[in-house]
Structure 1
Amino acid sequence: MKIGHWLLTVAVAWWFQQGRAALPKKCTHQCGDVTVPFPFGLEPNCPRSTDFLLDCTNTEGSGFRLMLGDLTILKISVGDSTMVVSLPEAYECYDQNRSLANRNVSINLPPNPRYRFSETQNKLIVVGCNALADMANKEGTVRKGCASYCSSNVDLAKETTCSGQVCCQASIPAGLTTLNISLSSIGQNVSNSERGHCARAFMVDNRPFNISNLTLPTFQDVGNNSSLVLDWMVESDEICDMAKRNRSSYACGKNANCKGFGNGSGYRCVCKPGYHGNPYSPFGGCKAICSFGKTYKGKKNNKDRCPIAPGVIAGAAIAVSVFGITVTGSVSVTMKLRLRKFNFTQNGGETLKHRKVQIFTEVELVEATNNYNDSNKLNDDDSSSVYRGTIAKDTVVVVKKPKDMDKSLLNKDFQRELEILMNISCKNVVKLKGICLETKIPLLVYEYIPNSTTVFKLIQQNKLTWEQRFKIAIEAALALNHMHSSTQPPIFHGNIKLANMLMGRNNSVKISDFGTSVLISPEHRHIVAIQKKDSLHYIDPEYLVTGMLTIQSDVYSFGVVLMELLMGKKLHVMKSEKSINTIRLFISSVKDDTLSDVISSESASEGEMDKIQTIAKIAVECLDQYGANRLAMSKVVEKLANVYPISTDKEEDEAKEEDEETKREVHKEELSSCLSCLGMDSCI
């Protein structure tokens, strides 16, 4: 019997030894300067599977390179399951003869194992003048981008962050496995100052990027590579719960936890707290940083620290538990109150509280939106979240909550313009009801416009008659003229477009989002204007040179709006050159008396056709390349009034009816149609 037990023991020990021998002991773990950890490998029997087999190539003149398809691998990390690869930069250059040289970047990641571009550790940087960068997946269904401009006197030494002047930045869209990066010029012509200069687009890690040591790129500066971080995982068709059930194929080793890979299938492994090493290794890759009851053998200057023994932790916990529970809550409340007071002061609250401005506390808006409950969230994009709220028991408002905005973008003197904006009375402007100053970036509270939809949507659906288009034109002009001429200092919008125009009851038109234009400093308002690439054609060409928006910038944008109203469509294009060419075509058709070539006017009567031609000429005068040559909004109103006269008394009665309507409770379904009153054209 003893011999049988001995034989069984030997057999079991042999079986375990065979299982461990599945991973060859003599595997190469180095390719040039890059370490190749398991589950990756360089020889057929070394990686976890053939999906993790990498190619170590001896390139003449460059030595050994570790390759992932066409990408050169710079580093593999098993601790956070990331891989750093070398990525060529995209560029666009004009030589002294205005000849163009450019390079776009296109990457398709291997399907197995599952890779994706890390949205948390990468961002795109663009350096250059009047350059537009576009990032998109292979299908073009997901995209982001940014635009940089140059003023007449560019001094990079005085710039520190990429806020649009010479340099801009954009985060990578989440979940991409393919990525196309392209650069194009925004301006219509290459200026003399831009000849011989280039624009570059490259990746950096997600830390603040200082551009003060850069110069405007030239031919000699382009063609370099940057680093791109990839996330990778194991078992692309399984999730953690499923993977743990099949221990034979489970990828995580001893003392390692399974972690999901985003919203889809697939998982990665991480060492448990108190352990470090390779969580994928089958041979105890995650080892205790320090074992209890044993002498720590690390070096004296080692930064690792031993965990405190459980008995010590228990004793300390008992000693401080009552004190900690009492104090933690008190400290938390005190810190929140101090932070709110600090933000209130920083945002000019001490000045505004003595003015005619409705100031909401953060607590009031938290209660109004039920703690910003998702059930009250109406829209969410990269720049802000929009919530439904109810104040004073029955007044429905919309709260716009900015996110991830740099404090430096705020207008330091916004308080004065804000007071003017909140106290003006203009029936064609969405009213800003109040502001919360207790947050890092102030929260804006707008009136609710019942039963309204955006002109953008109506244009898309082709639901506007010619009379309605004429009415939109004159009422939008009246709103802009009021803000330009009836306030001191004048308030200009900086982001005039169809999506920021609402048509409410009785076909009354209102312009929205003046609050955001006041909050952001003039030199940074381009950030609002270029958040969506299909809004670029609204931007004043002079602004791309000076970097400053003016009243005449609003006039140019309004000219584009008039053109779109007449053409019956929005210039929804992704290439700025195409929209510019469309504007040129429109201007040429007006000057050459061939307007019928670009406008579908079959349904227009003879009288309406005369009005169309008059408005087209007004649009051309607004679209002049030079701001000094454009019409003032007062002159635009005067000319449009000859086309479509307005009955003031009737309009005032309609405005009063709408004011009464806003006080009534509404359902979320009704509210969704007015999201664009906050500049949210993405909600369409």
Structure 2
Amino acid sequence: MKVVQWLLPVAVAWWLRQGGAHTMAGDCATKCGDVDVPYPFGLELHCARSQEFFLNCTTEGNHTQLLGANGGNIPIRNISVEDATMVVSVPEAYTCYDPDGQATVSREVALDLSSYPPYRFSDTRNKLTVLGCNTYAFMSDRDGTFVSGCRTNCNHSIDWANDTTCSGLGCCQTSIPKSSNGLKILDIRIRSLDGEDKEACGLAFVVDDRSFNISNRKFPTLKEVGKSSDLVLDWMVEWDVTCKNVSLKQSGYACGNNTDCHDFPNGPGYRCSCKPGYNGNPYNRSHGCQDINECKEPQVYPCHGKCRNKLGNYTCDCSFGKMGDGKVSCQIAQWVVLVAVIIMAFFFITISALVFVTWRRRSKQKNFRRNGGELLKHHRVQIFTEAELAKATNNYNDSNKLGEGGFGSVYRATVAGGTMVAVKKPKDLHKSLVKGDFQHELEIVMQINHKNVVRLHGICLETRIPLLVYEYISNGTLFQHIHQNASTILRSWKNRLRIATEVAIALAYMHSCAEPPIIHGDIKSVNILLDQNHSVKVSDFGTSVLISPEHSHIIATEIQGTLGYIDPEYLTTGMLTIKSDVYSFGAVVVELLTGKKPTSFITKSGESINIIHYFISSVKDKTLSDVINFEVASEDEMERVGLAAEIATKCLDQSGAKRPVMMEVAEQLTRINQEHNNSVEEENKETESEVDKENL
């Protein structure tokens, strides 16, 4: 039995085809059951653009369906104005066989759209689908201009529950051919190849390939036939003109605002679509295509930055500090990375600097308290800050370095008021070497006011080992005058005797006039300064008060080049006494008389002898004239040189108990110096008297 299905009704109103009702009234229904009915379609004549778009909404019992008008009974499942398609439900062709292999029931389907110009079978969405074993189906147009089909292969029933597409096993598919004017007629026929599969059925139907899922179908039996499947139709709003032609007559143009016109690919006719960035019904002139606010639909229109909606489009700018296409992705800009690195580095440096400054400040405060700053700041002691002395010495620049000893280095500095001072910066000794009660002794030292002692100007307590600040003496050291400068002041015995006497007086003052006695601990020619008048200034006497007696031997072993001045008894016992200064003074007198360093050696009879031992033996052997390095004016002067040498020999005794005290030494040298001055005065008077007699 052959069934011909007419999909859509014939024309009932000629004036509708002439465009007499191109707009949709505000009271038109737009839904039939679950199916939307958008313009240009309508459920009433005045709501449709033309008769071809007039549809009928019917209700039977509780079931509502959308049908073609004027007797058309093909259900419409969906209408889309976006892609101009319509999904309709059409019968499936089938054939079934009895146990004898004879066809019992069958149906062929003829689909004809020739009387309905707007519609074509979609050659992009539909496929001929065949189900069954060894079943062949084909489709053709009525004139036989094309024939296309496919066959299935199988020997038994197939379960497609786990399949999604046809594989050829019990199911096959083929596409609908394209036509220059669009395909409007399809005849579907189905056959069994050999009829061996008894009591079986075969199905053939044109179906929407997008929605078709083989897993939803069962192998065809007599119970499964007689159903319908969804087929897709393409439709055009106008079918006899192109976009180019219709745009010239604006009165009949179907596309609304913000739309594009598209020619139908298979023959004349056109469709409308919203421009990119707009959505809605492109055929509704009043409320058709509206701008899409892409910023409110980030899942559809991605934006990884700052979104701004525009008519028909949107912009997406990467946020500050990022670069790239915001619609695709945004990456951190290189300059941001650079700035971040700089900021982190600056932050780290700043934090480090703050930590260092805080640590330095607390360290200074700790040193100040530990070194007795709270006690000394209430006494007549000038206290300098570490920063003041660093600035005054140009950060202890070598150009300001005056000398270096075992305890530390001395730098020239200019403090507030333009006063020149000498800053002694000690070596970084362990804090256990610093006497705990040195503050009291230091205060006593700072009260010393003697013409032959370098005045201690002040102290800095912010360092671990306090910095000592002395008055500045500009004429160099006795060491320089003896060994480096070939000084003219040492050519005469008188000046040498005066220097030795002034040194003895200074030491006697520290040993006898201070309570407790102040032990210098490092008497040597380097620590004996000469001012502009060549008067003696004993320096570095404050060093001893900063060193704990029990650790003094450690310092002594570190004083390179001064071993010749150190008391051998002190090196043995580690005990620093006033007699230690006496021995050192004796070594200075030997250096002053011989012009040789106390560590020097004399070769005699092929044997090397230390200058001090050689000097002592020369005094005993009365051969002192072989040792001294200056000219003696007379026997009387040589006798006084011998007296001074004997005093030096006593000072150099290996036993500290046998050495004289400095007060005694100073008195003896003062007496010798006075006798020398008196002798010189008498000689001058005699010379003047002889000159007067000659003049007479």
TM range (shorter): 0.3 to 0.5
What is the TM-score with the length of structure 1 in the denominator? 0.45
Which one has the largest radius of gyration? 2
What is the TM-score with the length of structure 2 in the denominator? 0.44
Q: Which has the higher contact order (CA 8 A, sep 6+)?
A: 1
